[in-house]
Amino acid sequence: MPNIEKRRLDIKRDNRGWVMEILRGSQLQMPDFGQIYLSVAKHGAVKGNHYHKKKTEWFCVIKGKGELLLMDVMSEEKIRMVLSDTDMQCIKIPQNTFHAIKNIGKGDMYLLAYIDKEYNPAEPDTYYDVNVE
């Protein structure tokens, strides 16, 4: 069949779980698309723990349960919320918003995310220098 494409997906693993990029705009020849990824967190693991100055993300927990901490890096205003597969929500995380999600469920937590710009290792736009309790 013409125009059928198949790509092996690269899974990056560490002691917290794993992450897999699903689609990038450059693969679709749509540079403004950004990318979609799936991140899996083991019980008790925290993912994120950073903010972006130039990127906006959307998070949706599709399996499991996570506590999402959001903090405006300018005002230091904080919001905590629980995301789970029993109450599906999609949360927009604006630029300059610190974000961390902790798996508070019993098994693995699957986080489906979209970010409006592709990850570029030469310019990661990822800042960890925030002291958050």
Residue 26 has pLDDT above 90, yes or no: no
pLDDT top residue among 32 and 2:
32
What is residue 1's predicted lDDT score, i.e. its pLDDT?
64
Both tokens of residue 69?
Answer: 């901490």
For 106-122, the pLDDT digits (tens) are: 999 999 999 999 999 99
pTM of the model as a whole: 0.86
Q: Is 44 left (phi over 0), alpha (psi -120 to 50) or beta?
A: left
Using alpha carbons, select from 73, 74, 119 the residue that is nearest to residue 100. 73
Residue 133 has pLDDT above 70, yes or no: no
pLDDT > 70 in the chain, percent: 96
Q: What integer best gives the mean pLDDT of the chain?
A: 92
Q: Which strand ranges, in their side-by-side order, compose the sheet holding 97-103?
A: 46-50, 97-103, 65-72, 78-84
Cβ–Cβ under 8 Å, residues 41 and 103: yes
Distance separating alpha carbons of residues 53 and 67, to the nearest angstrom: 23
For 42-64, the pLDDT digits (tens) are: 999 999 999 999 999 999 999 99
pLDDT > 90 in the chain, percent: 78
* Domain assignments of the chain as residue spans, ordered by start: 11-115
11-115 in CATH: which number? 2.60.120.10
Cβ–Cβ under 8 Å, residues 16 and 41: yes
* Range list of H helices, the chain: 25-28
